[in-house]
Chain A
Amino acid sequence: DAGVTQSPTHLIKTRGQQVTLRCSPKSGHDTVSWYQQALGQGPQFIFQYYEEEERQRGNFPDRFSGHQFPNYSSELNVNALLLGDSALYLCASSLAVTRVWGETQYFGPGTRLLVL
């Protein structure tokens, strides 16, 4: 049973460029959440997708956008990259029906983005 997968593993971009990160959820999961983890910090919630719609959003500017596909996979897009966007981007998947009693989110290995 494949877990959460993310691509690419590493990425180097320059300021002002745009980037797309991809995530495939754990088999059977229908919800994908994205987190940004700066060096030495805990992950910060970016947004969550369920039924191909953004359901919740954290305190991130609209340069950060996403998409969920019918097969539940997801993309995170970041426009007009800033140096401060350098971080590990984590994708997590879960099952929406379990939300009422404390869903468990399963994390992928992350994509490490460096903005120069």
Chain B
Amino acid sequence: GDSVTQMEGPVTLSEEAFLTINCTYTATGYPSLFWYVQYPGEGLQLLLKATKADDKGSNKGFEATYRKETTSFHLEKGSVQVSDSAVYFCALSGGTSYGKLTFGQGTILTVHP
């Protein structure tokens, strides 16, 4: 079945540092890929998405490129802020089942001033 693997956390950075959170997936067909963010005590918010190979999703300074050859969708940001502290989830839909989101285990990001 479909699966998503994220780099293990937690990740701790200083403000203005560069961020990378790795995400790889296993799926048949051509899934869509997503990054969601969860702030403490809240539900999930869509951060960005990409629906086909080589697409780049971007939002609020975050970027991720859909790499089919390496089955990856790594999240990057050039300069993190304290307000970016949250849990980040990589997810896919499509593959063997439309409509169902399959999530990675999440990566906790803490940014210090």
Contacts and interface: CB of A to CB of B under 8 A. Distances in A.
B98 A110 contact: no
Contacts of A107: 36, 43-45
A58 B100 contact: yes
B101 A102 contact: no
A99 B99 contact: yes
Contacts, number: 67
Contacts of B105: 41-42
A44 B91 CA distance: 11
Given A103-B93, A107-B44, A43 B99 contact: no
B90 to A, nearest CB: 9
Interface in B46-86: 46, 49, 51
A42 B43 contact: no
Given A102-B51, A103-B93, A104-B49, A45 B100 contact: yes
Contact of B101 (A55, A105, A109): A105
B93 A42 contact: no
A109 B98 contact: no
- List of 9 A-B pairs having minimum Cβ-Cβ separation, nearest first: A102-B32, A42-B103, A102-B51, A107-B44, A107-B43, A109-B43, A110-B43, A45-B100, A99-B98
